[in-house]
A and B are shown apart, each in its own frame.
Chain A
Amino acid sequence: MKRRDFLKTSALTALATAAASRWNLALAQGSGIFTLAYPTSFPDLDPATSFSNDGAVLANVYEGLTRYIPGTETEEARIEPLLAESWDVSADGLTWTFALRDGVKFHDGTPLTSEAVKGSIERTKKIGGGASFIWAPVASIETPEPLKVIFVLSEPQPLDLIASAGFAAWIQAPASLEQDNAWFNAGNDAGTGPFRISRYEPGQRAVLERVADYWGPVPEGAFQTVLFEIVEDTTLIQNMIEGGQADWTYSVPFENLEQLQANPDLRVVVNPSFETLFGLFNTRRAPLDRPKVRQALSMAFPYDDVIMAGTANLGTRAKGVVPAGIWGHDADAPIPQTDLEGAAALLAEEGVEGLELVMTYSTSQSLSATAGELWKANLEAIGVTLTLQPMAWEAQWQLAKSDPATAQDIFVFFWWPTYVTPYDYLFNCFHSEEQPLFNLAYYANPEFDAMIDEAARLSGVDRPRAEQMFIEAQRILIDEAVAVFMLDRPNVHIIRSDIKGYADNPAYGHVTFVNDMSR
């Protein structure tokens, strides 16, 4: 072949390849691919131990017994049947009977049975990783009939809520129960959901394909393929969603949202999330052991400014601990308002002068940094010096757990519930602990402990009474200013305008239920 011919041939080949790939793209969009640009990887695809962003993939592949539907302004929050069609609880709240849906099949073709439910939960408990602790109250599981499963609890707990958890509540096929973590992480799955994992390339992508005989309703024009593209760079994410290479994402900085809102091809969907940001005061160290000092510091916090500067005004004021959309949320909570003069007066009354405080937060949380900077400026005006100390989350947590006497003064972090109950927030972050774990205010109040423990016992049998008690407990925390309740974070998702049927469910953070959607 002459050189010129060779060059000509290679040029033509390159053109043909380019044309073919464009044609392929058109074909791909036509056949119903939904692409999610996801900013983090999916480290663990084992339904028993997954407790991270992998939930976004697994929630489309596996299902639990129930699903939580958050409350809105017009509707109460409720728990919907999923693999369970209905359930009953005994009067003492200790025995829960679930009737399973008939005709549900796992992806390997075997039917859903009570044995599979028992096996799944027992595997999760036995491995003991991830969020398996949600099943701690379960003493035994009985399977009297193929479609009937009975849970006997050691203490009354709302098992319908527990079963709706975003992690550790997935039911898997009996054949997969003996498999180890490596089998699942090679991209194998054993769920009942509308999709199955067809490929998993760590650090790059996960590809899900629709299963042929899904038991639930499938909308017309539903997607056949779900593609999770792992993209860390936010600029690249924005390019992809603007250029149509992605249909959904959430990791775009707040300051860029205006530009995206102006784009007719895109829809910016803002919803409340169940993530609340607070700064826990070190209640074991003087002068922060005095409620009045903590109240003064809370009054110096610039609540509205942080919501404006940190979340483009999309966030909302935290009304105590439990965010809106969850039962136990206290819409009328007596929350403090920013009042620098009042704060200064209160500090003077307490005889506190020249106070120096250290606030720690996770480096990856830019919102915490904004909150810290603005608070610091306010505190300076009343003679308090706040030192901001960003740390890797592991280091921040390690410091806080080690010894309250040498730990930080203020510990800033987000909390979200493993399953949707006020008890999750109140128990983990404020119930007294022998060894500090997440109660990093080191708060210990027997009256508060007794109140939330009793409310938790009542949650399964008398939810209105339980709700009232949870609200009272939160008022104790607000009154004693155990933490500064900074804000409830908004969930911001960006989707292409031609996508139909999208609904965000904050109970399952950044999970997209692709089965409900179409183009």
Chain B
Amino acid sequence: MDIIRYILRRMVLSAFVVVGVTFLVFIVAQVVPSDPAALYAGPRPTAEQIEKARQELNLDAPLPARFVTFAQAMAAGDFGISYKSRRLIAEDLKAYLPATLELAVFSTGMALLFGVPLGVMAAARQGRWPDRLGSLGAIASVAMPTFFLAMLLQLVFAQWLGIMPLSGRISREIAISTPVPQATGFLLFDSLLAWRPDAFADAARHLVLPALTLASYPAGVAMRLTRSAMIEILERRHIAAARALGLPSGRILFGHALPNAMGPALTVIGLSFAYALTGAVLVEIIFAWPGLGRYVSEAILAKDFPVIAAVTMVVTVCYVAMNLIIDIAQALVDPRVALT
């Protein structure tokens, strides 16, 4: 029963976060000095075009009325059109969001895949060379600037060794001659749906380097957190008991100690995921990845408010949803969480 109440409480809180962000986004847009009408009217507008745009956008209406219109549209999932390009923002999101989500999921998975086992290993061999080496690696992966790592990976794997593609989401041969029919926008998923193993392998290869770059930082953090949590757990009595009973060390580590130490690692997933959603602008630019970060950074420079608002909303919802899932997962893994 406790867990259900806990989940409900988290959901209500999440709803408040989303509403709060909507309000904040609207207020910020009013404070920032810019002329949406001039932006909407195009790069070289005449005075008449700007005036016409002002009327079309209803910019002369009072502020509260405009907030109501804005909130209603957002609630209905109608993001409107970009002031700069006049394109439907929903259409743009359909193109950019799946690319970003794919990268975010993949890189978060990689971070866990590398970070957690290395952390466990380091804890098990505390103070010895696997620990030292792992810690050094963790520091390096956290300290290395992403843009530098991105270029390093490109140089080594794409240009010297030639085993990985340089950039993009899929090879241009596939994109031109035998494109994968778009169903969900998630290329890996779409290529499986259309049963195109060639496209699947190609898309997966394109994911590796950017995902690795993005995974570097959270993997390092996950490794450090898992290590310290594991060290603490390994000193507990139930582990000593398990050792005394002669259980195999693998089972002690992964079966008895790790579940107790998973909390911090799960938190890192949330952070890593959020970071990958919009913090990945540089990585997206360097790998020519058509993601949300690139899309919104252009909008920010142009003060294209509807795009900024839409992306903020989408990212908030994704982030809040992800956090909710993690909170629930943590409550399931560790029932003590739901009680606090």
The answer to the question of B39 belonging to the interface, with a C-beta cut-off of 8 Å to chain A, is yes
Whether B173 lies near A24 (C-beta < 8 A) is yes
The answer to the question of A52 belonging to the interface, with a C-beta cut-off of 8 Å to chain B, is yes
Whether A28 lies near B173 (C-beta < 8 A) is yes
* Complex Cα spacing A402 to B285, Å: 34
Of all chain A residues, the one with the shortest Cβ separation from B49 is A128
The answer to the question of A129 belonging to the interface, with a C-beta cut-off of 8 Å to chain B, is yes
The answer to the question of A35 belonging to the interface, with a C-beta cut-off of 8 Å to chain B, is yes
Return chain A residues, CB-CB under 8 Å to B291.
203
The answer to the question of B168 belonging to the interface, with a C-beta cut-off of 8 Å to chain A, is yes
* Complex Cα spacing A472 to B224, Å: 73
Return chain B residues, CB-CB under 8 Å to A44.
85-87
* Complex Cα spacing A53 to B95, Å: 19
The answer to the question of B302 belonging to the interface, with a C-beta cut-off of 8 Å to chain A, is yes
Pick the residue among B52, B81, B92, B295 that contacts A128 (CB under 8 A). Answer: B52
Mark A189-201 against chain B: 1 for CB-CB distance below 8 A, else 0: 0000000000101
Whether B86 lies near A129 (C-beta < 8 A) is yes
A12-64: which residues lie under 8 A (CB-CB) from chain B?
13-14, 17-18, 20-21, 24-25, 27-28, 33, 35, 41, 43-44, 46, 49, 51-52
Of all chain B residues, the one with the shortest Cβ separation from A399 is B33
Whether B46 lies near A437 (C-beta < 8 A) is yes
Known: A203-B96, A204-B290, A395-B33. A435 touches B47 (CB 8 A): yes
Pick the residue among B39, B169, B198 that contacts A20 (CB under 8 A). Answer: B198
Pick the residue among B39, B91, B288, B294 that contacts A394 (CB under 8 A). Answer: B39
A180 to chain B, nearest CB (A): 10
The answer to the question of B336 belonging to the interface, with a C-beta cut-off of 8 Å to chain A, is no
Known: A51-B42, A394-B303, A437-B47. A182 touches B169 (CB 8 A): no
* Complex Cα spacing A438 to B44, Å: 9
Q: Give the contact stretch, choosing among A230-238, A260-268, A373-381.
A: A230-238
Whether B88 lies near A182 (C-beta < 8 A) is yes
Whether B302 lies near A392 (C-beta < 8 A) is yes
Return chain A residues, CB-CB under 8 Å to B174.
21, 24
Whether B177 lies near A205 (C-beta < 8 A) is no
Whether B177 lies near A24 (C-beta < 8 A) is yes
A432 to chain B, nearest CB (A): 13
B40 to chain A, nearest CB (A): 9
The answer to the question of A229 belonging to the interface, with a C-beta cut-off of 8 Å to chain B, is yes
The answer to the question of A418 belonging to the interface, with a C-beta cut-off of 8 Å to chain B, is yes
Known: A133-B49, A398-B33, A398-B38. A202 touches B92 (CB 8 A): yes
A237 to chain B, nearest CB (A): 9
Known: A129-B41, A394-B39. A229 touches B91 (CB 8 A): no
Count how many chain A residues have C-beta atoms less than 8 Å from C-beta atoms of the other chain.
63
Whether A182 lies near B91 (C-beta < 8 A) is yes
The answer to the question of B175 belonging to the interface, with a C-beta cut-off of 8 Å to chain A, is yes
A96-134: which residues lie under 8 A (CB-CB) from chain B?
128-133
Known: A24-B171, A35-B172, A185-B87. A236 touches B286 (CB 8 A): yes
Whether B96 lies near A202 (C-beta < 8 A) is yes
A275 to chain B, nearest CB (A): 13
Q: How many A-B residue pairs have CB under 8 A?
A: 152
Whether A398 lies near B35 (C-beta < 8 A) is yes
Pick the residue among B42, B95, B197 that contacts A202 (CB under 8 A). Answer: B95
Mark A211-244 against chain B: 1 for CB-CB distance below 8 A, else 0: 0000000000000010101111101100110000
* Complex Cα spacing A13 to B205, Å: 13
The answer to the question of A407 belonging to the interface, with a C-beta cut-off of 8 Å to chain B, is no
The answer to the question of B139 belonging to the interface, with a C-beta cut-off of 8 Å to chain A, is no
Mark A381-421 against chain B: 1 for CB-CB distance below 8 A, else 0: 00000000000111101100100000000000000001000
B150 to chain A, nearest CB (A): 9
Of all chain A residues, the one with the shortest Cβ separation from B297 is A232
Whether A25 lies near B173 (C-beta < 8 A) is yes
Whether B301 lies near A392 (C-beta < 8 A) is yes
The answer to the question of A181 belonging to the interface, with a C-beta cut-off of 8 Å to chain B, is yes
B202 to chain A, nearest CB (A): 7
The answer to the question of A91 belonging to the interface, with a C-beta cut-off of 8 Å to chain B, is no
A208 to chain B, nearest CB (A): 10
Return chain B residues, CB-CB under 8 Å to A233.
167, 285-286, 288
Whether B290 lies near A28 (C-beta < 8 A) is no
* Complex Cα spacing A195 to B302, Å: 31
The answer to the question of A207 belonging to the interface, with a C-beta cut-off of 8 Å to chain B, is yes
A337 to chain B, nearest CB (A): 32
Chosen A-B contacts, 23 in total, with CB atoms closer than 8 Å, are A14-B201, A17-B201, A18-B163, A20-B198, A21-B174, A46-B86, A49-B42, A129-B42, A132-B49, A181-B81, A185-B85, A185-B87, A202-B92, A203-B96, A203-B291, A203-B294, A207-B175, A235-B151, A239-B159, A392-B301, A394-B35, A394-B301, A395-B303
Interface residues of A (CB under 8 A from B): 13-14, 17-18, 20-21, 24-25, 27-28, 33, 35, 41, 43-44, 46, 49, 51-52, 128-133, 136, 181-182, 185-186, 199, 201-205, 207, 225, 227, 229-233, 235-236, 239-240, 245, 364, 392-395, 397-398, 401, 418, 428, 433, 435, 437-438
Please name 5 further chain A to chain B contacts, defined as beta carbons within 8 Å, in addition to the given A43-B82, A182-B87, A398-B34, sorted by A numbering: A25-B171, A136-B46, A204-B168, A230-B288, A428-B44
Q: 6 tightest A-B contacts by CB?
A: A43-B85, A203-B290, A24-B173, A204-B290, A202-B95, A17-B201
